[in-house]
Structure 1
Amino acid sequence: MSITVTDGWGTEGGGAVFAKVIKNFETKYPNVTVHRQTTDYNSYQQTVNLKLNSPNPPDVMMLETSGYGQGFYGAVQGNKLLPLDSYSKAYGWDKRVGSDASLNVFRMDPGQHNLWGSGTLWGVPEQNSIIGVFYNKALLKKAGYDSPPTTYDDFVKTLAAAKAKGVVGIEESSTFIHTEMALWDSFASSADQVNKWVYGASGSFADTANMKAAQAIQDWNKKGYFQSGAVGTSDNDAAAAFLGGKAMYYVEGSWMSGGVEGSLKKDGGWFPFPSASANSPVGGGPTTPLVIPAKSKHQDVAAAFLNYFLGQEATDFMFQQGWGLPGAQISSTLTTAGTPTAAIVASLAKAEGAGGGGTTPFLDWADPAYSTQLAGELQSLAAGRQSPTQFAQKIQNEWTQFHSKRKS
């Protein structure tokens, strides 16, 4: 028996780790041979639709994003994917990713005009993530604080204190998207408040919580809490500046933890973005779906591979090999106490577990146009070229138009 697995991780870094996972799967199941097809990420994205539309597609495939972004939405629309609900129930995948709600990001309901976030399960995550605050302990101390803030009001006080001491409060990239996510979540009263809008079910980008978030971004830039020229700073340059010790905070995804620990060493830390509401969610959650094409000739074996990928053995192995945070939960004993990674793992497990505030997906997955529009409008907002009301209304107008077309 053989199956074909295709991905865009290549042969270096994470791609090399994935190759080892495949080898370990074959060792555990010697009656199965896995033929892997891989290339670099950019080249892979150009061939996704060709692979999905092939009369003989691979048995397991990687897609770029869930939601209404490239790949996932179109694949469900075109009936190209195999529903995974029966396999998830049989294998207990919801328990491996924290809760059943964590898998909503890979659900889409054909009976509701392919509404994202509910209905049929079409994929499982290859990674997990959380948006939070990386910080430089030495610069926080220079601003007058020995420990990071735990409330939103105190967070803002540390920004003012840093400004007074000549310290850059937040190193920001020109996209502003992760800061916008963190702020909306902070002001929101529940994950549903944000998720219903992101998934396209209901709500408004101009709700009270997000209006506060938009106002905060504009105010912070005006007050100099971001570095000079933040509106024109690339993601790479912002990351390099923070890792080079030039700012107190960096609001970013958990994938930065290795770089922070390697560059800032004992001065590197992480904490959840402080909440202004008792039940606030956190941005992030499972990413990059692995799917089974509907025309796979070996669906049960492909599902067994996904189950192995989500299992404790493979999950812990990937984490130890430098994969980052795998889609399923790692053993808590694998992290080193006091490190950003340990804080991230604990916070994400709490958010996604029973009684946690939950996670909200990346905002630019909410509409295909947002991959370019959202960052541009956030730049205009931060620079004061438009009001928070104007900003929110533009984004909401696009949302309304897209979902009107989706339902037609």
Structure 2
Amino acid sequence: MSSSALPRRRFLGMATVAGLGTVVLTSCGDSDSDSGGKDGSGRTVVEWWHISTTEPAKSRWNAQAKAFEAKNKDVRIKVVSLENDAYKAKITALTSSGKLPDVYHTWGGGVLKQQIDAGLVEDLTDSVKSWIGDLVPASRDAYEFDGKTYGIPNDIGAVGFWYNKALFKKAKIDAPPTTWADFLDTVRTLKGAGITPISLGGKEKWPGMYYWAYLAMRLAGVDGMQKAADAKDFTGAPFVKAGEHLKGLVDLKPFQKGFLGAPYSSPTGQAAVMGTGKAAMELMGQWAPREQAASGKGLGDDLGFFPFPAVAGGKGKGTDVFGGGGGYALRKGAPKESVDFLKFFVSPESLRKLVPGTGIIPVNKEAESALKDPNLKAVLDMLNNATGFQLYLDQAYPPAVGQEVNDSVAALIAGSKSPDQVTRSITQVAKSQ
């Protein structure tokens, strides 16, 4: 959510983390200065806000600031490291005041677009055009608007199914499903073998949203998703059908007992249920193995990964990918050295130091060799072969719309909204924006 090293939802502020009182300020130099000014030694100060607050990511992020300073003696990187919820609250307040840090963490999508429309964000198109092509194409989508670049990704990820190979073997399932119909058959087979098919953290709502979003993308296609967003109308047949498919899954009762009250990360949450071998699958992003190990004990070699299945009759391709990542934007008028720092931070040299042990997937194609985990390599392969990319809906859309998607889909899963009501609720909120 994350440093890139934390779950995506933590960085969206949907999980319980520390509040504003936990803001940590660290500086790579000795003297204080306003961002964009000069310190006592005459160096240009670049203020950099990031959300990597857990180890080893925090130390590695800050070490890269010092490494940049060592190569650029006339620049000081003033590092501000904040917990995820604290960051969201602080950056929202700064956006309202019209004063953002020189370099600040962003997830792109709707929130970044609002900052751009308010005239607060630097257009990076010309200043990065000589090297932006080194980055994985899918990683750049969330930061590009109207053909212009307003942010640089530092990690990228995608959602897919994580599964327990041992439980599949126990149920005599030879291979992961490739179609939605096969997926439902897999669920039935697992249930027949006395195995809980799917772990779901229903309390936090966003994990359930992934199912509806992927189904909608498979049925409407990436272009159809964009057209619905532009028209602020999600009542079309593909979106209703997505809800019907999800309801069909829910009707099979595939989730663990008490899933509606289960969080994502906790000793009794979605990740723990999966990580202790009590469920066969979970639909989650690339951070899943780390969270399974942290909340449960992890599955080791028994853990596998497969893409979200294709859906018959849909306009979307089975190789279209749903996901997102983290990156950095610059405030309007930030020192030119800020761009130099971003180039350094996403260089192969830097990413080879940042990737090991942090769980991030490198955005620079020349740093992909630093990724050793076979399952994360499978995620990267899926991204590199993506025919289309859809950003997480609660990031792609304005915040109120994204929240309504989460809320309405959660209501469908709980049985209190119909597929048609879901689409009408989302459309109503979208048109009010």
1:230 to 232, 254, 259: 259
Q: How has the CA–CA distance of structure 1 residues 193 and 167 changed in structure 2, closer, same or farther, with 3 Å as cutoff?
A: same
Deviates more, 1:45-54 or 1:384-393: 45-54
Q: Residue by residue, what CA displacement relative to the aligned partner does 1:337-356 show, whole Å, maximum 9, x if unpaired?
A: 7x3112111111111xxxxx
CA 1:321–1:385 in structure 2 vs 1: closer, same or farther (change >3 Å)? closer
- Give, in angstroms, the shift of residue 305 of structure 1: 0.9
Look up the SS of the partner of 1:250 in the other structure: strand
- TM-score, normalising length: structure 2: 0.79
**C-alpha displacement of 1:319:** 0.9
Map of 1:253-264 to 2, 5 A cutoff? 253-260=285-292, 263-264=298-299
Q: Which runs of 5+ in 1 are unaligned?
A: 109-117, 352-356, 403-408
Is the contact between residue 17 and residue 323 of structure 1 (CA under 8 Å) also seen in structure 2? no
Counterpart position of 1:293: 331
Question: CA offsets, 1:56-113, max 9 Å, x none?
Answer: 86421223x32224xx24422321111111122133x1x23322x65332134xxxxx
Match of 2:351 in 1: 315
Counterpart of 2:254 in structure 1: which amino acid?
A: Y
Residue pair 1:128, 1:328 contacting (<8 A) in 2 also:
no
2:108 aligned with 1:66, yes or no? yes
Residue of structure 2 equivalent to 1:23: 66
Deviation at 1:192, TM superposition (A): 1.6
Number of the residue aligned with 2:187: 159
In 1, the alpha carbon distance for the partners of 2:168 and 2:86 equals 42
**Residue 426 of structure 2 corresponds to residue 398 of structure 1:** no
C-alpha distance in 2, partners of 1:372/1:56?
26
Partner of 1:242: 274
Aligned partner of 2:176: which letter?
A: P
Q: Of the candidates 407, 410, 416, which is equivalent to residue 379 of structure 1?
A: 410
Secondary structure of 2:361's counterpart equals coil
Q: Deviations over 1:350-373 (max 9, x none)?
A: 11xxxxx22101111213214543
Quick check: 1:105 aligned with 2:105? no
Equivalent residue for 2:376, pick from 341, 347, 351: 341
* Pair 401,58 (structure 1): closer, same or farther in 2 beyond 3 Å: closer
Shift in Å at residue 53 of structure 1?
7.3
Identity across the alignment (%): 23
Task: Name the residue aligned to 1:358.
Answer: 388
- 2:257 and 2:152 mapped to 1: Cα distance? 41
Name the CA distance, whole Å, in 2 between partners of 1:233 and 1:373.
20
1:279-313 deviations in Å (ceiling 9; x for gaps): 2411113x3331111132x2x21111111122212
The Cα of 1:42 is off from its aligned counterpart by 2.7
Q: Is the 8 A contact 2:139 2:363 kept in 1?
A: no
Q: Pick from 106, 118, 121: which aligns with 1:78?
A: 118
The answer to whether structure 1 residue 8 and structure 2 residue 51 are counterparts is: yes
Partners of 1:11 and 1:230 in 2: CA distance: 28
* Residue 171 (structure 1) aligns with: 199
Deviation readout 1:141-184 (Å, 9 max, x if unpaired): 12221321223322221111011111111111212112222222
Query: Do the aligned partners of 2:139 and 2:156 also contact (CA within 8 Å) in 1?
Result: no
* Superposition deviation, residue 397 in structure 1: 1.6
Distance 1:40 1:82, change over 3 A: same
How far is the alpha carbon of 1:26 from its aligned partner?
Answer: 2.6
Mean CA deviation greater in 138-147 or 41-50: 41-50
CA contact 1:319–1:330 (8 Å) conserved in 2:
no
Partner residue, 1:147: 175
Partner residue, 1:202: 231
Residue in 2 aligned with 1:120? 148
Shift of 1:52: 5.5
CA gap of 1:309–1:76, structure 2 versus 1, over 3 A, is same
**Counterpart amino acid of residue 331 in structure 2:** P
Per the TM alignment, residue 399 of structure 1 is displaced from its structure 2 partner at its CA by 1.3
Q: Structure 1 38/260 Cα, relative in aligned 2: closer, same or farther at 3 Å?
A: closer
| Aligned-CA RMSD value | 2.5
161-170 vs 206-215, which moves further: 206-215
Select which of 351, 360, 367 maps to 1:324: 360
The answer on 1:269 being equivalent to 2:312 is no
Write the distance in 1 (CA, Å) between the matches of 2:92 and 2:412.
Answer: 36
Q: CA deviation at 1:25?
A: 2.1
TM-score by structure 1 length? Answer: 0.83
Instruction: Return closer, same or farther for 1:283/1:57 CA change in 2, 3 Å cut-off.
Output: closer
What secondary structure does 2:154 align onto?
A: strand
Distance 1:67 1:333 in 2: 29
User: Which residue of structure 1 aligns with residue 15 of structure 2?
Assistant: none
In the other structure, the counterpart of 1:89 is 129
Q: Distance in 1 between matches of 2:190 and 2:225?
A: 31
Inter-partner Cα distance in structure 1 for 2:97 and 2:242: 45
Aligned pair in 2 of structure 1 residues 363, 52: CA closer, same or farther (>3 Å)?
A: closer
